[in-house]
Structure formats: C-alpha cells, structure tokens
Amino acid sequence: ACYTDSRYSHKDTYYQALDFTQSTAMNGLTFQLQSGIHKRALTIDSPEISLRDLRAEAYKFIQDT
C-alpha cells in the first residue's frame, strides 16, 4: 500500500508491506453521501450492492435534501 504524507512542505511517499497471510472478509459496505451541507452515511450489511440499488439510494438522498 502507498500513501502520501502531506504534513511536510514536500510530499513524501511511504510504502508499507501488505500481509496477505491473514484472510479478511468484508461484512458490509459504507458509503458517505453529501449534497451541499447535507451528509448521510449509507451502510449495507451485504458485501455487495447492485449499481441500480446504489443509484436508487443516492436518488432518495437527493430527494430528501
């Protein structure tokens, strides 16, 4: 994994070794939706969501704001 540290005046890039020996399982998804000053976190208990369902949730959020 790679990330950039912007605490310094110049940007330093650091690399961390990834440990693939441990198995990790996703147990849900969280999306953060924002429209202007309105924010909402959308949490789904499934490890996947269809694009149609995600679009419907985003549309509902926009209609509520």
What whole-number distance in Å separates Cα of residue 29 and Cα of residue 45?
Answer: 7
Residue 60 token pair? 């509902």
For residue 65, the model assigns a pLDDT of: 83
Tell me whether strands 12-15 and 29-35 are parallel, antiparallel or unpaired: unpaired
Do 30 and 42 form a contact (C-beta atoms < 8 A)?
Answer: yes
**Nearest partner of 53 among 45, 10, 36, judged by Cα:** 45
Provide the whole-model pTM: 0.53
Residues 6 or more apart from 26 whose CB is under 8 A from it? 47
| Per-residue pLDDT reduced to its tens digit, 6-54 | 555 555 555 566 565 666 666 788 889 998 899 999 888 888 889 999 9
Query: How many residues does the structure list for the chain?
Result: 65
Q: What is the pLDDT of residue 25?
A: 65
- The domain segmentation of the chain, as residue ranges, is 25-65
